Structure 1
Amino acid sequence: MRQKVLSILLLACCFILPSVSSTAAQNASAPVPAGPVGVNHGAGGLGFPVGKFSAVANYRYAHKDQWYLHTSEEDGLDREVFSHNIVFKTRYGIAEGWDVRTATPFMLNTIETEGRNDAWSGGLGDTTAILHNQFASQKKGAPLNLAWDLGVLVPTGEVGSNNIGTGAWGGLVGLGATWMIGSHRLETDMSYLIYTEGYKDVTKGDRLRVNGHYAYALNTRLDLGLEGYYEWTQADEADGEDLENDAKTLYAGPKFNLKLPEYGVTFGGALLGAAYREYEKMSLTEDWRAEFKLIKMF
């Protein structure tokens, strides 16, 4: 099953972006759009400057107040979850076409039942470390920028009944593509993550992410565009038993980037609405989420 999924990912990435036999020369005077905003985005098909370092903070706010089962809204307990997800990221260029990235989440969920704030969940999460290699570049005559990812999930997170750490190791593979022309940027990335057995002998289900975005640079300061994020988290297993909590979601919506190149700073925001939700187990979910990004280059 996993081999089939990975094969599909490799083939699909080649067709998500427009197929072009040649790329027009980049207009040197055209403003260049920045990357995606969302918490879960990857690096697409672009490389990173050798010797440069970036520090990134992503933030997502979501208000979960609707119960869903399969693809339909359901009546359930009067409960609300106010979710704050912060992800601290780094990226460093180690050689031409090669860079390393890390991402460590911190989450705080406050839970209100029948109007009373009576619970919380969250804490520090597991760290993902990824080696990224750009193997095709438009600057060198390729029709697309293409790159692969190879990563490991390290169990750095807090583990417990209310915490988000899994207590498990994981392995990740990914593929990304970016098409740049003039002031336009079209990009996608895909990743597939598998876990070892973790806390309470639970093996988390494999996770597939497919992300995409389009950006247009209005000028050297401001980009506008669209982003979309699909995630499929397969059902967890405990002692070989399927826990029947498979989930699929798609969120999409408009975004902006404010660029301050003289300071090496980019600030972005996106408002993403639920385009598709499917849950094997009745789950609390949100209609929309707000996401923000702050990048500092060194």
Structure 2
Amino acid sequence: MNWAKIHLIMGMILLCFGTTAYAAENYPVAWGPSSATFGPCGISIPAGKFGIGGNIVFGEGDGARQYSKRLNGDVKSTKFNEVLKLRYGILDTLDIRLATPFYNVHLNRSNAPDHDVYGVGDTTVVLHQRLLNQGGGDPLSLALDYGVTFPTGSVSAHSSDAAGNAAWGGVVGIGATYFLYANRFDTEVNYAMFTEGGHDLQKGNRFRWNLGYAYALSNLVDLGIESTMEANDNSKRGGVRQQDASLEWYAGPKVAFKYKPWNTFAGLTVKFPLERWYHGTQGVSDDYRIEFKLIKVFDVGTFF
């Protein structure tokens, strides 16, 4: 880890502790995380509420990588991905959410023809069960996630197996949220396993750890920091273990906008790599990511 990464982490820590000192008796409430891979952590959506929206993720990379090093500049990648997200409150303590990724990646290669990767990823449907509620007197809000990945992914010469290769899967996780005046702290971990899908490939087990902090400047604007880490085990192709395990850790600042009369929320995050490790040669590795999230919530009533 170089000095730039250490300085970024130190800045994140100082911002978290520094903003806490400005808490007052009348304080606004910070909105949740904005990154595409973030879930709701410890917070549930009220019964009868329906949220629709998603994320747009833009990233660029320069050069193929292996292990923790850049190998060469033979390939440049430009990524423009979208994630459709739906969420509905079944009960005040139980909600269900859906996420379907769409991806578009252009590879500019100096030693081979350019290549485009595009398609639809596998859809994940998750039940979110709240166990503790800070607003109800508990020390923090805590929730469990358990869900299924459905084989909706594209399988072709231009598809991405990483985004989904028409495979079934299962995911479990736990998340927590803590409010301190105008400060909000979020964290969650989840673990996913997959069956064999298209291209005779069974993706390796996936582990994610997300961490977020937000400070509500007002009822309209939040500032914060988000960190997303993802580790993937080696996959199997035709039953043979491949050398493609990976670890990616990104972090950076965010700004969020809230307009409660319309029940509309938007967030913008800019993240940079703190650590990247690839067992095999990786041609698509973002040198930075810009992520935008937009969510609109409707009151559609309960059905249970």
Q: Same fold (TM over 0.5)?
A: yes
- TM-score with structure 2 setting the length: 0.86
Name the structure 2 match of 1:292: 292
Q: Percent identity?
A: 36
Q: Secondary structure at the match of 1:139?
A: helix
Name the structure 2 match of 1:95: 91
- Describe the superposition over 1:91-137 as per-residue Cα deviations: whole angstroms up to 9, x where unpaired: 00001200000000110111212299732112111110000000011
Name the structure 2 match of 1:5: none
Q: Secondary structure at the match of 2:79?
A: strand
Name the structure 1 match of 2:107: 111
The answer as to 2:31 corresponding to 1:34 is yes
- Describe the superposition over 1:152-202 as per-residue Cα deviations: whole angstroms up to 9, x where unpaired: 000112111211331210000010000012111000011101001111321
AA paired with 2:58? Y
4+ runs of 1 displaced by more than 6 Å? none
Name the structure 2 match of 1:60: 57
Name the structure 2 match of 1:73: 70
Name the structure 2 match of 1:187: 186
8 Å CA contact 1:110, 1:117 repeated in 2: no
What are the ranges of 5 or more consecutive residues in structure 1 without an aligned counterpart?
1-25
AA paired with 1:134? R
Name the structure 2 match of 1:220: 219
8 Å CA contact 1:63, 1:289 repeated in 2: yes
Query: How many pairs are equivalent?
Result: 272
Q: How does 1:1-298 map to 2 (within 5 A)?
A: 29-75=26-72, 78-114=74-110, 118-164=114-160, 165-284=164-283, 285-298=285-298
AA paired with 1:57? G
RMSD: 1.7
Which segment drifts farther, 38-47 or 156-165?
Answer: 156-165
Shift of 1:214: 0.1
Distance 1:117 1:292 in 2: 31
Q: Secondary structure at the match of 1:163?
A: coil
8 Å CA contact 1:66, 1:286 repeated in 2: no
8 Å CA contact 2:207, 2:230 repeated in 1: yes
Q: Secondary structure at the match of 2:114?
A: strand
What are the ranges of 5 or more consecutive residues in structure 2 without an aligned counterpart?
1-22, 299-304
Distance 2:128 2:88 in 1: 10
Which segment drifts farther, 250-259 or 278-287?
Answer: 278-287
Shift of 1:239: 2.6
Name the structure 1 match of 2:5: none
8 Å CA contact 2:208, 2:229 repeated in 1: yes
Distance 1:194 1:122 in 2: 23
AA paired with 1:238? R
Shift of 1:229: 0.3
Distance 1:124 1:203 in 2: 18
AA paired with 1:32? V
Distance 2:281 2:112 in 1: 22
Distance 1:103 1:115 in 2: 36
- Describe the superposition over 1:209-250 as per-residue Cα deviations: whole angstroms up to 9, x where unpaired: 100100000000100000000000111102321110000010
Which segment drifts farther, 109-118 or 274-283?
Answer: 109-118
Shift of 1:28: 7.7
